[in-house]
Amino acid sequence: MSYFGKNIRKIRSLKSLSQQAFAELFDLKRGTLGAYEEGRSEPKLETLIKIANYFSIPIDDLLTSELTVNNLLKFKGNLTIEQNIGEQEYFTKVPCITTLNLNDYVKYADKESFVQELPYLTLPINLDKKFRAFTVQNLEMSKNDLGMFPKDIVIGELTPLEVHSKLNNGTLVFIVTQDDIILRRLFISSGAIVLRADHKNVEDIVLTLKDIKEIWRVRYVFYHRIPETNFSLEEKLEQLEKDFDILKNNK
């Protein structure tokens, strides 16, 4: 009789896994796992290989010797003793486009292997959505010491190209083109995509859909400094007047 049953029971103890949870990892029934642990049954070769590979334990060690805790910790770095701390919460990993990797991202945005190697932020946001973080590169979205400045970080949610027309005029986005990444407010005008900066001295950029690789709708902003939030009455009136002109021109 092998030591397989004793060893998997010890692994379960180290990982704080119930018989049911362990069994589900390897498509087993809980009763089958119980039989293994009690020495009433031996695993099929396929099951043995799965478990050995998953925990990086040599098959021979798993079968022929009673493994100690120290033995098990040597086989796999994440096979550690865990306290029963209840349900774990998992945050979303958001790949981050920075000054250093921006040009490479423009080239390889569609390569999943490249995206996975980007630095990332871990944030408590929707796990079911696809996000990118983008480090602000310039002053185009600043105005009178307000807005966004270099080193600020915006978090964008992917907007499929086919539904871009559903975005409201004035939505803050960053768009990946064939040559660059542009952080602006988006407006749809006569079928064209107009990207407008908040800075008054920056000209609009006009694109067609075929110029665009990705659209990320900004959902969150992380400021590199504490932003000023007090707007003067004059600034509020000026902004309202601008917004009114934009709406009028886009009718």
- Residue pLDDT, tens place only, 75-114: 654 554 444 444 455 678 899 999 999 999 999 999 988 9
Do β-strands 192-196 and 205-207 pair in parallel, antiparallel, or remain unpaired? antiparallel
Whole-model pTM: value is 0.58
Neighbours of 31 (CB within 10 A): 11
**pLDDT score, position 88:** 52
The sign of the dihedral angle between the CA atoms of 200, 203, 204, 205 is: negative
- What residue ranges of the chain have pLDDT lower than 50? 77, 80-87
Coil vs helix vs strand at 6: helix
What is the predicted pLDDT for the residue at 190?
Answer: 85
Instruction: Report helix angle 30-37 to 4-15, nearest 10.
Output: 120
User: Can you tell me the distance from the alpha carbon of 83 to that of 106, in angstroms, rounded to the nearest whole number?
Assistant: 44
Task: Give the chain's radius of gyration (CA, Å).
Answer: 27
Q: Helix, strand, or coil here: 63?
A: helix
Given this model, what pLDDT does residue 11 score?
86
Annotate 111-147 with b (16+ C-beta within 10 A) or e (fewer): eeeeeeebebbeeebeeeeebbbbbbbebbbbbeeeb
Q: Report the b/e string of 203-225 with b at 16+ CB within 10 A.
A: eebeeeeeebbbbbbbeeeeeee
